Amino acid sequence: MVSLAVEICGLKLRNPIMPAAGPTVRDGDALVAAAKGGAGALVAKTVSISPAEVPRPCMAKVKDSLLSAELWSDLPLERWLKSEYAKAKKTGLPLIASIGYKPEEIRELAPKVVKAGVDALELSIQYLGPDPTQMVEATKAAKETASVPVFVKLGPNVLNISDSAKAAEGAGADGIVAINALGACLSIDIENTLPMLGSASGYGWLSGPAIKPLALRCVADICRAVKIPVIGVGGITDGRDAIEFIMAGASAVQVCTAAITRGPKVYGLIADEMTRFMRVKNYNSIEDFRGVALRHLPEQPLRTRAKPPEVLISKCTGCGLCEKYCVYGAARMIAKKARIDPSKCYGCGLCVSVCPARALRF
Ligand SMILES: Cc1cc2nc3c(=O)[nH]c(=O)nc-3n(C[C@H](O)[C@H](O)[C@H](O)COP(=O)(O)O)c2cc1C
């Protein structure tokens, strides 16, 4: 019997998929929609002492990813404390409040938000700069004033993400969330020469599939550096992505951009895809495969000699993608089946990664 249920810092989740702070969790109604869409826990939009003055336009699609300049919640804190968290709590799911930014702001916000009934805090440190000193102070402030688990959300722009995670753990953090969006980035509308976003600089933060490999590397690094649970976020769009993060050591995942582009049903779809994968692989629980890929990372021997991939002929559908992608002219379709010429193969691995039928393997 496959179960997706996980327990993180005492929070019981029906599945390990939750929204990440962003526009899809901008108020209580949006959080209720995320719960109905199948999320295992809820994370609310970051709140700070004063509402944000969000520049417009604040979102632009860049290929299959997103550039944004949305900042934190533009709703007054009082409204969150009075009604929005309460609406989300009625779903019965664990509710994590995201709060930002400076240590003195966290000290003021944490007890108020906890009093409003949230089950855990997530600290956003996105605007504190690459040095971990302020993040450590913010974490201590939250731990001193709040009685619930405290997660620290790290961005990829810190000096060294493992060191930052260790510093957060040392300051008392109960878990790490990684990563926030990557920036600053720029996109230009070539029809009118203007930046796509209306922020003061025209710059924004990149999220979605483009940052997934970066997020996965950060999660793997953090999981090897700390003992506290890690929640992975960055470019997750389907069940296979979520499983990759769990295999890299994450205890759960968050989704923002895919929920913007596909709607709140995406959480349930990801959960269903994970269940199907787990059935095929005979995994009964998330713990059965959490972190299984980590052991290969430090031990992977460096290989500079080309080793051609093996073709599983019965699986090959003859689609020809391997031939199309092979820059070395080694992959060829013969009688509608892939063949690799070992004398030409560079062993680059691109064909293995593009084969939709998984008919190529090392
Ligand atoms: C429009 C938008 C608004 C966001 N707002 C917040 C926020 O308020 N607080 C925060 O910590 N992260 C915020 N993020 C970052 C996301 O929570 C997430 O860490 C990042 O987008 C990577 O995940 P994804 O690739 O699934 O989007 C925002 C991202 C986007 C795209």
Which of 26, 98, 256 is the pocket-test mutation for ligand 1 (most atoms within 8 Å of CB)? Answer: 256
How high is the pLDDT of residue 215?
98
Q: Are 321 and 348 in contact (CB under 8 A)?
A: no
Report pLDDT digits (tens) over 126-156: 889 888 999 999 999 999 999 999 999 999 9
Report pLDDT digits (tens) over 48-75: 999 999 999 999 999 999 999 999 999 9
Ligand 1 in reach of 255 Cβ (< 6 A): yes
How high is the pLDDT of residue 115?
98
> HEC string of the chain?
CCCCCEEECCEEECCCEEECCCHHHCCHHHHHHHHHCCCCCEECCCECCCCCCCCCCCEEEECCEEEECCCCCCCCHHHHHHHHHHHHHCCCCCEEEEECCCHHHHHHHHHHHHHCCCCEEEEECCCCCCCCHHHHHHHHHHHHHCCCCEEEEECCCCCCHHHHHHHHHHCCCCEEEECCCEEEECCEECCCCEECCCCCCCCEEEECHHHHHHHHHHHHHHHHHCCCCEEEECCCCCHHHHHHHHHCCCCEEEECHHHHHHCCCHHHHHHHHHHHHHHHHCCCCHHHCCCCCCCHHHHCCCCCCCCCCEECCCCCCCCCHHHHHCCCCCEEEECCEEEECCCCCCCCCHHHHHCCCCCEEC
Other C-beta atoms closer than 10 Å to the C-beta of 240 total: 12
Which of ligand 1's atoms lies nearest the C-alpha of 258? 26
Closest CA to 316 of 359, 351, 273: 359
How high is the pLDDT of residue 357?
97
Ligand 1 in reach of 21 Cβ (< 6 A): yes
Share of the chain above pLDDT 70, in %: 99
Share of the chain above pLDDT 90, in %: 94
Provide mean pLDDT across the span 109-123: 98
Find out whether the peptide bond into 101 is cis, omega within 30 degrees of 0: yes
Closest CA to 59 of 180, 157, 193, 206: 206
Q: Of residues 300 and 159, which shows the higher confidence score?
A: 159
How high is the pLDDT of residue 282?
98
pTM of the model: 0.95
Report pLDDT digits (tens) over 188-238: 999 999 999 999 999 999 999 999 999 999 999 999 999 999 999 999 999
Q: How confident is the model at residue 298 (pLDDT cuts 50, 70, 90)?
A: confident
Provide mean pLDDT across the span 24-37: 98
Ligand 1 in reach of 218 Cβ (< 6 A): no
Provide mean pLDDT across the span 239-249: 98
pLDDT of 180 above 80: yes
Ligand 1 in reach of 24 Cβ (< 6 A): no
Which of 180, 197, 267 is the pocket-test mutation for ligand 1 (most atoms within 8 Å of CB)? Answer: 180
Domains of the chain: 6-296 (3.20.20.70), 303-361 (3.30.70.20)
How high is the pLDDT of residue 145?
97
Report the separation in Å between the CA atom of 1 and the middle of ligand 1, taken as the mean of its atom positions.
34
> CA quadruple 114, 120, 125, 126: dihedral positive or negative?
negative
pLDDT of 300 above 80: no
Report pLDDT digits (tens) over 251-281: 999 999 999 999 999 999 999 999 999 999 9
How high is the pLDDT of residue 194?
96
Ligand 1 in reach of 256 Cβ (< 6 A): yes
Mean pLDDT over the full length of the chain: 97
> CA quadruple 11, 92, 116, 79: dihedral positive or negative?
positive
Ligand 1 in reach of 46 Cβ (< 6 A): yes
pLDDT of 332 above 90: yes
CB contact set of 287 (below 8 Å; sequence gap of 6+) = none
Which of ligand 1's atoms lies nearest the C-alpha of 211? 25
Ligand 1 in reach of 65 Cβ (< 6 A): no
Which of 207, 212, 219, 233 is the pocket-test mutation for ligand 1 (most atoms within 8 Å of CB)? Answer: 207
Ligand 1 in reach of 236 Cβ (< 6 A): yes
How high is the pLDDT of residue 231?
99
Ligand 1 in reach of 22 Cβ (< 6 A): yes
Ligand 1 in reach of 91 Cβ (< 6 A): no
